[in-house]
Chains A and B, each alone.
Chain A
Amino acid sequence: MASDTPKASGQAEPPRLLLVTRSPPYGSSLARSALDTALAAAAFDMAPALLFLDHGVLQLLPQQEGAASETRSHGKVLDSLPLYDIDRIYVDAAALLHFGLQDMPLPAAAEVVDSTGIRALLEGCDHILSF
């Protein structure tokens, strides 16, 4: 059956909007801004993809206590991404290794990508927003 309404589910098709988040979860508002942008883009049916790069992989650490820093828990908000139909999540393999987090549980939709995969992602998408 020919699909006249292409969905962003096909992993082969590059994302149109890629949000690159490379900051740690707390200490600045950059990680939060990336996430808010992702949720806003999803509300407009833009099916954004997220790439956690460099220090951004620290956002995926489990058991974050948002209350300790008097802010919302970044990790908990990340858990809601599937409900926003954001199911293309890429994680920088080298950064996981750098922080010793290669065995950390990742979101179900997450795909670990090496530098070649990251380059392909960056080259393939239409728009990149970096936080």
Chain B
Amino acid sequence: MLGADAFDTEGFLRHLKDWSPAVAEQIASDEGIALDEAHWEIIYLLRDYYTEFDSSPAMRPLVKYCAAKLGADKGKSMYLLSLFPGSPARLGSKIAGLPKPENCL
């Protein structure tokens, strides 16, 4: 368990290197989400996105990236919303230990 000072005021991890699957479970539980395989697939996809583009995605690029990497079935906002309700890009990035997406509506 990471202490409260590891997170910013909105609950995003301050340092990338502090992330681990256990930390993801901790953040998800605070958000009321129980992580299953489908969540993990997107969490690791988000981390891949960050490695590739040095930024957290907004919704549109996340959907396109999912479609490109996981197929058209999963490259849909409805699919992502079913896993990470509200704002998938924001919530997913949070659980994946990434900075808050800057241009997220």
Give chain A's interface residues, CB within 8 Å of chain B: 36, 39-40, 42-44, 66, 72-73, 76-77, 79-80, 83-85
Whether B97 sits at the interface, judged by CB under 8 Å, is no
A80 touches B103 (CB 8 A): no
- Residues of chain A within 8 A (CB-CB) of B55 are 72, 76-77, 80
From residue A60, how far is it (CB to closest CB) to chain B in Å? 15
B58 touches A84 (CB 8 A): yes
From residue B25, how far is it (CB to closest CB) to chain A in Å? 27
Docked CA distance A48–B103 (Å): 14
Whether B65 sits at the interface, judged by CB under 8 Å, is yes
B57 touches A80 (CB 8 A): yes
- Residues of chain B within 8 A (CB-CB) of A83 are 53, 57, 60-61, 64-65
A85 touches B60 (CB 8 A): yes
A80 touches B102 (CB 8 A): no
From residue B27, how far is it (CB to closest CB) to chain A in Å? 22
B103 touches A43 (CB 8 A): yes
Whether B37 sits at the interface, judged by CB under 8 Å, is no
Give chain B's interface residues, CB within 8 Å of chain A: 52-55, 57-61, 64-65, 102-105
Docked CA distance A66–B57 (Å): 18
From residue A78, how far is it (CB to closest CB) to chain B in Å? 9
Q: Contacts A36-B102, A36-B103, A39-B102: A73 and B60 contacting too (C-beta < 8 A)?
A: no
Q: Tell me which of B54, B60, B65, B104 contacts A42 (CB under 8 A).
A: B60
- Residues of chain B within 8 A (CB-CB) of A73 are 54
**Interchain Cβ contacts under 8 Å between A and B, 28 examples:** A36-B102, A36-B103, A39-B58, A39-B102, A39-B103, A40-B102, A42-B58, A42-B103, A43-B59, A43-B60, A43-B103, A43-B104, A44-B105, A66-B54, A72-B54, A72-B55, A73-B54, A76-B52, A76-B53, A80-B52, A80-B53, A80-B61, A83-B53, A83-B61, A83-B64, A83-B65, A84-B60, A84-B61
Q: Which 8 A-B pairs have the closest CB atoms?
A: A83-B61, A76-B54, A80-B53, A72-B54, A39-B103, A73-B54, A43-B103, A40-B103
Docked CA distance A76–B105 (Å): 22
